Structure 1
Amino acid sequence: MFLLLLAYLDLVSAIRFAWPSPDVLHTPSYAFLAELAPLWVWAVLWAGVGALCLVQAFVKRDAIAFGFAAALKFLWAAIYLIAWALDEVPQAYVTVTFWAFAALVVHVISTWPEIPKGDQ
């Protein structure tokens, strides 16, 4: 179930990069991300991880999806940490905190044992 929630989060993130609102294109966050890579690259990255989470939500061995989901969120925290350190994105430490926390939650949940089918 948690992987389905991660799939939703990641696919929505992919959509916001694939079809960004004109209002956000000139924000410091989008400008910084676009300097690092075209927005379509970010869309593909988020969509790929979202699709992986969606597929692996229905299989027993789901460690790969959890690993990629946590890694992407750690990457996002690191990108915003750099943006904050370079003073490119004002108050990016808030975004760093959110994504680092999200990555840690994904990592912790990935270590939980599966509930046996009969106990659900």
Structure 2
Amino acid sequence: MSNGVLARVLHRIGRRGASLAFVGLLCLAIAASLAFAPPGQRAAPGYAVLAAIAPLEVWAVAWCATGTLCLVQMFLRSDRLAFAAATALLMLYGLVYLISTFTGDNPRGWVGAAVWLAFGGWIALIATWPEAVTADRPTGGAAVVVADADGLIQSWNPQAAKLFGWSTEEAVGRPLTILMPPRLRDRHVEGLARVRVTGVSELAGHIIPLVGLRRDGSEFPIALTVNAWHGDDGIAYTGVIRPMRGGDAD
């Protein structure tokens, strides 16, 4: 039971959210270590340097606020503020330790500086990962589109017709590119060509945030899940499409 709950939570928050959970808990632990540091620990060079800039309690509040922000935004679609705050605080810590090395206040501060700066760089790198997709389930189920190896639509369910504005009769036989803005079409065609050569789709099974194109020319955000399978006529694709927030069909 607990494993199932954990799996659902991880699927919901994605890699970015899981990283924010780790960073958030670490920030709270650092906040506690600063707020409740015993007198002997406060006299250590690293703590003394921090206290010379601001009371340790102020640093503790900064870490606590950052940790709380990370734990809150790990469940949200927009988490950039949490990543920015965590990166900034880690980099600031690293710079303080590095400067204290050159001033002589903390001769071995370069060790802490290397750790904090590397950690901050790691968080900045994670911030570039694709965000977790939170798709709203449209009324009547998801849009389901089946296409052949050349990207020509073979099957089109009623929800797809409602979402994109093309009837089944109009959509079947047309290329999948009618569902995407022109700027994305070349990459799509290149991907199909690559799969025809390798027989493997790197996108299969993943939830992909994209932009859809309705028949009237309007664009809207979608979440696409692609499955590739091999039939008698070669490779074929099934795409399950859901509009993301702000992209529901009328």
Of residues 34, 37, 41 in structure 2, which corresponds to 1:20?
37
Name stretches of at least 5 consecutive residues in structure 2 with no aligned partner: 1-17, 135-204, 208-250
CA distance in 2, matches of 1:90, 1:111: 34
Structure 2 residue 121 is matched with structure 1 residue 100: no
1:89 is aligned to: 106
Shift of 1:115: 4.6
For 2:133 and 2:71, locate their aligned partners in 1 and report how far apart those are by CA, in whole Å.
20
Q: TM-score, normalised by structure 2?
A: 0.46
CA-atom RMSD in angstroms: 1.5
Alignment of 1:39-118 (within 5 A): 39-116=56-133
Per-residue CA deviation, residues 51-90 of structure 1 (Å, 9 max, x unaligned), is: 1001001111100100101010000011111111101112
Aligned length: 120
Q: CA offset at residue 116 of structure 1? A: 4.3
Gaps of 5+ in 1: none
Residue identity opposite 1:57 in structure 2: M
Q: Among 34, 58, 64, which residue is 2:51 paired with? A: 34
Which of the pair has the greater relative contact order for Cα pairs under 8 Å at 6+ separation? 1
Counterpart secondary structure, 1:81: helix
- Please identify which structure carries the higher helix content: 1
Corresponding letter in the other structure for 1:102: F
Letter in 1 for 2:122: V
Q: Which has the higher strand share?
A: 2
Secondary structure of 2:130's aligned partner: coil
Alpha-carbon distance in 2 for matches of 1:93, 1:82: 8
Q: TM-score, normalised on structure 1?
A: 0.93
Whole-angstrom CA distance in 1 between matches of 2:124 and 2:58: 24
How much has 1:98 moved relative to structure 2? 0.5
Quick one: percent identity of the two aligned structures? 38
